[in-house]
Structure 1
Amino acid sequence: MSELKPILNALRRSKVGAILLLLQIAITTAVVSNSAFIISEKMTYLNQATGFVEKDIFTFQMMHFGNDVNYMRQAELDESTLREIPGVIDAVIVNAVPLSGGGSSSTYRLQPTGQKSKGLNASIFEADSHFLNSVGVQLVEGRNFTDSEVVVSNDYAQYPTVGIITQALSEELFPDGDALGNTIYRGDNPVKIIGITDVMKGPWLKLDRRDWSVIVPFVMADKLTQFIVRTQPGERAQVMQQVEQHMLSSNRQRVVENIRGFEDLKAEYVSPDKLTMRMLMVMIVVLVLITALGIFGLTLFNINKRTKQIGTRRALGARKSDIVRYFLIENSVISTFGLVTGSVLAVLMAQQLMKHYSLAQLPLPFIITTAVSVLVISLLAVIGPAKRAANISPSIATRTI
Structure 2
Amino acid sequence: MYKAMSEIKPIVNALKRSKVGAILLMIQIMITTAIVSNAAFIIYDRSTYLQQETGYPEDEILYFAITTFGEDIDLSQLFEETETTLREIPGVIDAAVIAALPLSGSGSASGFDTLPHDQHQNGDNRNVRAAYTTGDDHVLNTLGVKIAEGRDFRPEDIVVTNDPSMLAKVAIVSRAFAEEIFPDENAIGKTFYSGNTGVEIIGIVDTMKGPWLKDSRPNNVIIFPRVEARMYQNVAVRATAEDRASVRKSIEDKILAQYDKRVVINMRGMDEAKAGYNAADLLMLRMLVVLIVVLVMITALGIFGMTVFNINKRTRQIGTRRALGARKSAIVQYFLVENGLICLVGLFFGCIGAYYLGGMLLREYSLPALNNLYIVVTALSVLVVSLLSVLLPANRASNISPSIATRTI
From 303, 306, 309, give the equivalent of 1:298: 306
Equivalence for 2:22: 18
User: Is 1:51 the equivalent of 2:59?
Assistant: no
User: Does the CA contact (< 8 Å) of 1:327 and 1:382 recur in 2?
Assistant: yes
Give the aligned partner of residue 188 of structure 1. 196
Counterpart of 2:113 in structure 1 is: 109
The equivalent residue for 1:230 is 238
In 1, the alpha carbon distance for the partners of 2:210 and 2:245 equals 24
TM-superposition CA deviations, 1:10-62 (whole Å, max 9, x none): 11111111110001000000000000000001100110011111111111111
Is contact 1:104–1:124 with CA below 8 Å preserved after alignment? Answer: yes
| 2:10 match | 6
Q: Which amino acid letter does the alignment assign opposite residue 246 of structure 2?
A: Q
- Identify which of 72, 75, 80 aligns with 1:76: 80
Matches within 5 A, 1:260-279: 260-279=268-287
What TM-score does the superposition give when structure 1 sets the normalisation length? 0.98
Q: Deviations over 1:150-198 (max 9, x none)?
A: 1011102221121111011112222214211111112222111111012
Tell me which amino acid in the other structure corresponds to 1:222.
R
Unaligned runs of 5+ in 1: none
* 2:226 is the counterpart of 1:240: no
Contact preservation (8 Å) 1:315, 1:397 = no
Q: Give the secondary-structure state (helix, strand or coil) at the position aligned to 1:165.
A: strand
Residues 313 and 245 of structure 1: CA distance in aligned 2, closer, same or farther (over 3 Å): same
Structure 1 residue 397, shift from structure 2 partner? 5.0
CA separation in 1, counterparts of 2:219 and 2:115?
21
> What is the CA RMSD across the aligned residues, in angstroms?
1.2
User: 1:139 maps to what in 2?
Assistant: 147
1:333 equivalent to 2:307? Answer no
Q: 2:224 aligns with which of 212, 216, 226?
A: 216
Q: Matched residue of 1:228: which SS?
A: strand
For residues 247 and 291 of structure 2, what CA distance do their matches in structure 1 show? 43
Q: CA deviation at 1:361?
A: 0.6
**CA distance in structure 2 between the partners assigned to 1:275 and 1:319 by the alignment:** 51
What is the CA–CA distance in structure 2 between the aligned matches of 1:50 and 1:9, rounded to whole Å? 61
CA distance in 2 between counterparts of 1:398 and 1:256 reads: 85
Count of residue correspondences: 401
Does residue 256 in structure 1 map to residue 264 in structure 2? yes
Residue 342 of structure 2 is aligned to residue 342 of structure 1: no
Q: Counterpart amino acid of 2:255?
A: M
Q: Offset at 1:67?
A: 2.5
- The equivalent of 1:170 in structure 2 is 178
Displacement after TM superposition at 1:322 (Å): 0.3
Deviations 1:68-127 (A, max 9, x none): 332212111111111122211111000010110000111112222234422221111111
3-state SS of 2:9 partner: helix
Scaled by the length of structure 2, the TM-score of the pair is 0.96
Q: Which residue of 2 aligns with 1:395?
A: 403
Query: SS of the counterpart of 1:208?
Result: coil
User: CA offset at residue 396 of structure 1?
Assistant: 4.2
Match of residue 130, structure 2, among 122, 127, 130:
122
Cα distance in structure 2, aligned partners of 1:120 and 1:93 = 26
Amino acid paired to 1:290: I
Q: Distance in 2 between matches of 1:105 and 1:127?
A: 16
User: Given residue 170 of structure 1, which amino acid in structure 2 is its aligned partner?
Assistant: A
Between the aligned partners of 1:69 and 1:217, the Cα distance in structure 2 is 24
* One-letter amino acid matched to 2:18: S
Q: Is the 8 A contact 1:354 1:361 kept in 2?
A: yes
Q: What amino acid does structure 1 have at the position aligned with 2:41? A: F
Residue of structure 2 equivalent to 1:156: 164
